[in-house]
Amino acid sequence: MKEVKVVSEETNNKLILEAIKDRLKLGNVKFGHDMPKDGEMNRDNMNEAYEEVIDLVIYIAGVIISDITMKDRYKKGYEILHQYYDSISDEEKPIVNKQLDEIGL
């Protein structure tokens, strides 16, 4: 098995496991019991999973559309800034450059 290099104590896997644990605890509190096996308590886990996947696709599509819209807005803002950058004084350019660098532009 390939050796895994741990970069920090807060690895992505640890964060994912914590999110799963938190979600299971929330379900226990909300419904008053553990996650039922398929068929228990009249649950159809496959159908519920199918419905959740459809919901996930809808939510992800919304995030993607929002991300695309935000990128378009940043691109337009960058184009406007670039258009006026030459009119900024030489003394102010390092300040502006630092601010742009801090936000990844």
Query: Residues 38-91: pLDDT tens digits?
Result: 888 888 999 999 999 999 999 999 999 999 988 988 888 888 888 888 888 999
The structure tokens listed for 100 are 């742009």
Q: Do residues 82 and 105 touch, judged by C-beta distance below 8 A?
A: no
- Residue 50: give the domain boundaries: 12-33+45-102
The CA dihedral of 32, 34, 40, 42, to the nearest 10 degrees, is 40
In a domain, 40, yes or no: no
- Report the predicted TM-score, pTM, of the whole model to 2 decimal places: 0.53
pLDDT tens digits, 10-50 = 788 999 999 999 999 999 999 898 888 888 888 899 999 99
- If one counts the domains in the chain, the total is 1
In a domain, 4, yes or no: no
In a domain, 49, yes or no: yes
CA distances from 3 to 6, 72 (A): 10, 41
C-beta atoms surrounding 81 within 10 Å: 13
Domain assignment present for 1? no
